[in-house]
Homo-oligomer: A and B are copies of this chain.
Amino acid sequence: MTRWLDPEEQRTWRTFLAATQALMETLDRELQRDADMPHAYYVILVHLSEAPDRRLRMSELAEAAGSSRSRLSHAVGRLEQFGWVRREDCPTDRRGQLAVLTDQGFAALAAAAPGHVEGVRRHLFDPLSPAQIDQLRRISEALVDHLDPKRPAS
């Protein structure tokens, strides 16, 4: 009944696992070492910096950053301690909160970005051919399209 993986599929799956794990751990470690922030926090700052007025509703930010609401709430609390983000009440919905990127936060992001981008390039794009980069985009799109529509799978 179980559709087991044949040896070739096993090899693909394990190599893919090793690659993504090593890649993300490397980038996370570099970011932690050079900019003192985990990658998840970097992503939050990026999305805030791109938003109009550098502010976003908590739930939109969570969506953009691919984070759960709870995770985001904890993270923003931490970023607030650093002085990188502040919270504001939403004027149109009394339940709502806006996360606002502070100037300090923008500066921290600006300081972290070059090193991180360089890391992404070195560890992801440089080892791949242009054709492979294109393939990777299409593969990722297929996976996202499949995973996104229904979150709690079974």
Q: Which residues of A contact B (CB under 8 A)?
A: 1-5, 9, 11-13, 15-24, 26, 30, 43, 66, 113-114, 117-128, 132-133, 135-148, 153-154
Contact = CB atoms under 8 A, between A and B. Distances in A.
B13 A120 contact: yes
B121 A146 contact: no
26 contacts: A2-B114, A3-B121, A4-B117, A9-B133, A11-B137, A12-B140, A13-B124, A15-B140, A15-B141, A16-B124, A19-B139, A19-B140, A20-B24, A22-B147, A22-B148, A30-B154, A123-B143, A123-B147, A124-B143, A127-B142, A127-B145, A128-B142, A128-B143, A132-B138, A135-B135, A136-B139
Given A66-B22, A148-B22, A12 B118 contact: no
A99 to B, nearest CB: 19
A139 B12 CA distance: 10
Contacts of A141: 15, 19
B132 A142 contact: yes
A34 to B, nearest CB: 9
Q: Is the interface of A mostly helix, strand, loop or mixed?
A: helix
The 6 closest A-B pairs by CB, nearest first: A127-B146, A19-B140, A19-B143, A2-B114, A12-B137, A15-B140
Contacts of A117: 2-5
A22 to B, nearest CB: 4
A136 B24 contact: no
